[in-house]
Structure 1
Amino acid sequence: MTEAVVDDIVAVLPPLLNALEALGFFARHLHPPAFASVMNTIGAPDNALQSAHAAISAWPEQFAGLRERLDHACNETLAAFAGIREVERGKGDLIAIFRALRHLPRAQEALYPLSTQFPPVSNFFLNAANRENDALLSRLEVGGSEHTGIFHDRNEPGSRGGFSVYVPEYYRHDRAMPLVMALHGGSGNGRGFLWNWLRDARSIGAILVAPTATGQTWALMGDDTDTPNLMRILETVRNRWTIDASRLLLTGMSDGGTFSYVTGLDGASPFTHLAPVSATFHPLMAEMADATRLQGLPIFITHGKLDWMFPVQTARQTQAALSAAGADVIYREIDDLSHTYPREINAELLQWLNGG
C-alpha cells in the first residue's frame, strides 16, 4: 500500500467512524420535541468528514475497490447528515428525517467489508462492551470462510419478501449457534434493519436473519402472507447453517414487533423466545392465542416511555395480559426511548436467549 493511500485512510477513517457513531446516537435518541437538543449533542462531525473526504488524493488502480468502498461509505454518511441538516434549517419534517436515516445502513454496508483489513473498522462493528475482548478479537483475526459474513437473498432495496443474513466469522458447522430473526418496522426492509443487530450478533455470537415483509408492512390485517414466508426463510437458513433449535429468537421493531406477536403466538411457531420492541398489541390477541403455546413462553417486552406512536400504557397492558395468560414475561421500560430502536437492549436479549 502506497504512503499516499495510507495517509488518506488514516485521515478519513476516524472522522467517518465518528460521524457514523453520531448518526447512530441521533437515530437512537430521536424524539420530535427533542430534535434541536439531540442535534446540539451530536455537533458537526459531518464537517470534519467532508474535509477529510475532499482531501483524498488519486489512488493507484490496484486500490480502486478500496477507494470505491470508502467513497461510498463517506457519501452515504454525508447524505444522511445533509438530509438532517435540511430539517434543522426548517425545510423538512419527521418523514424527511426517516428518509435521511436510510443512508446510515447503506454506509455501514459499504464499510463492513473493510473490517477484515482495518482494526478500527472491525472494532466499530462490535458493541462497546467487547471492543477489548481479546478472545473475541483473536477469533475475528483468523477471518471467516465462504459460509460466514453477510448474505442477501432477493433482498435488494425496493424488493419485498427476501431476506439478509449475517453469520459470525468464527462460526463452525460443528457448533450450533442461536438464531435471531429481526423484523423491521413499517415500510422498512430487512437489508437495512440488519445493522441494528449486527454488532451484537458479531460480538456475542448469533446467526442474524433480517427478512423483508411481503407487503409494505407486515401482514397485520387480511391474509397472512408473511408467516409462511418467514417459515420458508427459517428453513432455508437451517438447511445451510447449524442452528440451535432451543434458542430461536423472534424480535422486531414497531410493526415488526407487533407481527412477532401475531406469528410467534401461533401454536405451530418454532420460535422459543419472543422480543417485541416498541410494538402494539390488542388484548384479543392473548385470548385468541394458543393457550398451550402461551404457558411459560419467554417474552421480553421493550418499550419507551416517550413513545409517541404506541403510548407506553399499551405495553404495560400487554405485559399484564400476557402474564395473566401464563407467559413468562420480562418487561423493560426505557425512560428516554421514543419510537426508535434501542440497540443497547440487544446484548441483554442475547443473554436472556442464552439462558443468562
Structure 2
Amino acid sequence: MESSGDPNDPSRLGARPEPGPRGELSAGLQPLGLSPRRDGLLYVPASYRRDRPAPLVVLLHGAGGNAHHGLALLKELADEAGLLLLALDSRHATWDIIADDTYGPDVTFLDRALRQLFRDAAVDPARLAIGGFSDGASYALSLGLTNGDLFTHVIAFSPGFMAPAAQRGRPRVFVSHGTQDQVLRIDPCSRRLTPLLRRAGYDLRYQEFEGPHVVPPEIARDALEWFLPRAT
C-alpha cells in the first residue's frame, strides 16, 4: 500500500509541482485510472499549454457523492479561466477524517493523484487550491490548513467543521454558506468557524447568501474571481 508524503504523519501530502512536465495532456475530461472502483477525474481546459503552468483546483464532493459531483462545482467556469480541475472519489461514502476521525486512505489517494498530475501537467505552484462542498468543504478546510505549505487557497462551500492536524503555511480561505441551510445549519457551522479562522490569522473571504444547502452559480463565480482575480 502506498503511503502519504510523511509515513509518520498520515495527514501530510508529499506531492509537489515539478518543472518540465513529462506527459502530454489532451483537453477535456478524463479518468485518472488509479482505481478500478472509486477513481477520480481530471478536466483540462482547451487553453492548456505545457509551457504555461496553469492554476489547479482539487475538488471534493459531499457525503455520498463522487468525483462528478465535485467537478460540477467549477467545471462550467474552467475553460473561461484556463483552470485545471482534479476531482476525486472518496475511498468510502465520505472522507476519512469524517468517517473514522483519522486521516488515512483519502490522503494517500490524493497524494497519488497529485503525483501523477504534477508529473504530467504544468501546474502553477502559486495558484493551487483545494475546495469542496458540504463534507467536501469540511475536508478541504481540514486538509488544506494541514497542508498549507502546498495549497495556496482553500475554498469551502457550506462546511460543517474543520479538524486540521496542524497549521502550516498561510493559505487564503474562501467560505460561503446559505442562511436557510437545513443540512449544515449556518450558526453552528460557518458562523462558528469563520471567527476561528480570522483569529488564527488567515486571510478570509466569507460570503453568506439567502438559500439552502447548495452552491449557487454566482457564489461559484465569486470564489473563482477571488482565486484568480485576473481570469474573469
Q: Shorter-chain TM-score: what band?
A: 0.7 to 0.9
RMSD: 2.2
Could you say what secondary structure the match of 1:312 adopts? coil
Shift of 1:309: 1.2
Q: Select the structure that is richer in helix.
A: 1
Gaps of 5+ in 2: 1-23
Shift of 1:155: 8.0
- Alignment check: 8 A CA contact 1:218 1:256 kept: yes
* CA–CA distance in structure 2, aligned partners of residues 311 and 269 of structure 1: 31
Name the amino acid aligned to 1:150: L
* CA–CA distance in structure 2, aligned partners of residues 251 and 185 of structure 1: 11
Shift of 1:268: 6.2
Query: For residue 195 of structure 1, what is the aligned residue in structure 2?
Result: 72
Instruction: From the CA coordinates, give the structure whose radius of gyration is larger.
Output: 1
Name the amino acid aligned to 1:346: A
Could you say what secondary structure the match of 1:196 adopts? coil
The 5-angstrom pairing of residues 19-34 of structure 1 reads none
- Alignment check: 8 A CA contact 1:166 1:209 kept: yes
* CA–CA distance in structure 1, aligned partners of residues 25 and 141 of structure 2: 34
Gaps of 5+ in 1: 1-144
- Alignment check: 8 A CA contact 2:95 2:139 kept: yes
- Alignment check: 8 A CA contact 2:43 2:86 kept: yes
Structure 1 167/223 Cα, relative in aligned 2: closer, same or farther at 3 Å?
same
Shift of 1:192: 3.7
Q: Percent identity?
A: 30
* CA–CA distance in structure 1, aligned partners of residues 89 and 153 of structure 2: 20
Equivalent of residue 220 in structure 2, options 333, 341, 346: 346
The 5-angstrom pairing of residues 1-356 of structure 1 reads 147-154=26-33, 159-160=37-38, 162-219=39-96, 220=98, 221-224=100-103, 225-267=105-147, 270-281=150-161, 285=163, 289-290=166-167, 292-293=168-169, 296-313=170-187, 314-335=189-210, 337-355=211-229
Shift of 1:355: 4.5
Shift of 1:207: 0.4
TM-score between the two structures when normalised by the length of structure 2? 0.80
* CA–CA distance in structure 2, aligned partners of residues 258 and 342 of structure 1: 18
Shift of 1:183: 0.5
* CA–CA distance in structure 1, aligned partners of residues 174 and 30 of structure 2: 28
Count the aligned residue pairs: 203
* CA–CA distance in structure 1, aligned partners of residues 147 and 47 of structure 2: 34
Runs ≥4 in structure 1, deviation > 3 angstroms? Answer: none
* CA–CA distance in structure 2, aligned partners of residues 297 and 172 of structure 1: 26
Query: For residue 4 of structure 1, what is the aligned residue in structure 2?
Result: none
* CA–CA distance in structure 2, aligned partners of residues 257 and 277 of structure 1: 6
* CA–CA distance in structure 2, aligned partners of residues 192 and 317 of structure 1: 26
* CA–CA distance in structure 2, aligned partners of residues 289 and 312 of structure 1: 25
Which structure is richer in relative contact order (CA contacts within 8 A, separation 6 or more)? 2
Shift of 1:195: 2.7
- Alignment check: 8 A CA contact 2:60 2:67 kept: yes
Structure 1 276/172 Cα, relative in aligned 2: closer, same or farther at 3 Å?
same
TM-score between the two structures when normalised by the length of structure 1? 0.53
